[in-house]
Structure 1
Amino acid sequence: MLEVIVLLPEDARQAEAAGADRLELVTAMPEGGLTPSYSVIEAVVHAVTIPVRVMIRPHSRSFTYTEEEKELMKRDLSHAIELGAEGIVIGALTREGDIDSAFMQEVIAIADGAAITFHRAIDAARDPLTAYQQLAALGEIQTVLTSGGGQTVADGLDTLKAMSACDGPEILLGSGLTIDNIAQVHSVLQGQHYHIGSAARVDGSFANGIDANAIHRFKETIRS
């Protein structure tokens, strides 16, 4: 399964046509991805037939949120689901660097069966493997987007192997994947779910459109 980051309806249509299996919809990629507007969510959901998961992240300062910020996030995730998103992408840590399990339980209740991806906040946890086990204990998190605590997937291979040996959410491998390293990463991890952003763009830049050839080559590699 290949998930591709998109920003706008045209991105979404191009990514689907190129073979993406699922989309992560965000805005403000220079900040690592924030919550898109409701109008963009609605337009993207109606532009494609493949699943769309919407980023719920109010700022890029940290993955620890105030109570007011959490209320905003809960409202945003409700709206995203009402607008037709298949799921949401969210994450929160305590000040100690553990999963904010209390908040995530609220998220699960509000999502009411919609898919939940816990994003790369896990890679900022004090122990990503323990954090993965904490998410598994919650029972209703379908996906964890992670690089195994490394800056890139290639840096976090050992932790990713340990996560894969656990009984828990599907592991969505993401960060630093390129057409040049995906074959090596896939040969080591034999992952089932991959996530790409700039690697799906012309010249590897979010300033440019979707590179259909790059998506085709990723799909060919991970199917091998």
Structure 2
Amino acid sequence: MSKRAVLEVIALDVEDAVAARAGGADRLELVTDMAADGLTPPVAAFAAIRAAVDVDLRVMLRLTDGFAAGDRRRLVRVARELRDAGAEEFVLGFLDPQGGVDLDAVECLAGELDGCRWTFHRAIDHAADRDALRKQLAELPGLDAYLTAGSAAGVDDGLPTLLAEARRGGEPGYGQRLLVGGGLRLDHVPRLRAAGIDAFHIGGAARPRGWGGPVSAESVARWRGELDGDRPEPGAA
């Protein structure tokens, strides 16, 4: 029997966090400003969510739209402030203008995080060479997951890449968990689970009213049921 899959849900505030937890989320990704695809939330927002729910929280370290690191000293300062407030898990990822990993920026932040667990986010889907990126980052402390759709266009296009990478789990650069997100739908799940993928990330899929509305516990629960193989019988109420 396959192990329970991780379900990560994007949360913008305490209301989102409480609903996601009630629906069965295992972990939250904390961001602000989804118009910019998710930036670092204020420390106060992290602290309020940490006080409200008992699930794992991964906090975004990203100050501007796009995949450039920007002001590295400010990034380090923000990371330090979040750690001082109790943050223990993070999300980050930076590319250079040529689409290669910005190794200096990533190493700088990984050093500041000092062993905290972190996800390299969907910058990998915009990289010029994702295999090279993985191998460059393979030994960085704390890196335990790649948030990826397999393609910048989303899971529909990226599914072959995700399945191929799942088969490479024992190779150098492929030891980190695949956390699939980005245009992910419930109908993708059976094939991904069959390939051994056991971590899934949703944002808009947890919000029936779109990004202008809150996370729905019921929507999260539907995902939890699909991941657990707990589907209602046809015709069931």
**Is the TM value for this pair above 0.5?**
yes
**In structure 2, what is the Cα distance between the partners aligned to 1:56 and 1:138?**
16
Q: 3-state DSSP class of the match of 1:39?
A: helix
- TM-aligned CA distance change 1:183 to 1:173, over 3 Å: closer
Tell me which residue corresponds to 1:162: 164
Task: Please tell me whether residue 15 in structure 1 is matched to residue 17 in structure 2.
Answer: no
Task: Show the counterpart of 1:119.
Answer: 121
Q: Which region of structure 1 is more displaced relative to structure 2, 100-109 or 9-18?
A: 100-109
- The amino acid of 1:211's aligned partner reads S
Counterpart-to-counterpart distance in 1, 2:44 and 2:204 = 23
Q: Contact conserved, 1:173 with 1:195, CA < 8 A, in 2?
A: yes
State the alpha-carbon separation in 2 of the partners of residues 195 and 221 from structure 1: 13
Contact 2:110 2:141 in 1 (8 A): no
Task: Give 1:44 deviation, angstroms.
Answer: 0.9
Q: TM-score, normalised by structure 2?
A: 0.86
- Quote how far apart the aligned CAs of 1:40 are: 0.7
Paired positions, count: 219
Q: Percent identity?
A: 36
Q: Larger helix proportion, structure 1 or 2? A: 1
**Aligned Cα root-mean-square deviation (Å):** 1.7
State TM-score, norm by structure 1: 0.90
Task: Out of 188-197 and 14-23, give the one that drifted further.
Answer: 188-197
Q: Does 1:83 align with 2:85?
A: yes
Aligned match for 1:172, one of 179, 184, 207: 179
Q: Which runs of 4+ in 1 moved over 6 A?
A: none
Alpha carbons of structure 1 residues 77 and 185: separation in structure 2 relative to 1, 3 Å: farther
Q: Which ranges in structure 1 are unaligned for 5 or more consecutive residues?
A: none
Q: In the TM superposition, what whole-angstrom CA distance separates every residue of 1:25-63 from its partner, at most 9, and x where no partner exists?
A: 000111100111111111111111001111111110x21
Larger Rg: 2
Distance 1:153 1:177 in 2: 6
Q: List runs of 5+ in structure 2 lacking aligned partners.
A: 1-5, 230-237
Asked if 2 retains the 8 angstrom alpha-carbon contact of 1:117 and 1:143, the reply is yes
1:79 shift after superposition: 1.4
2:61 equivalent to 1:49? no
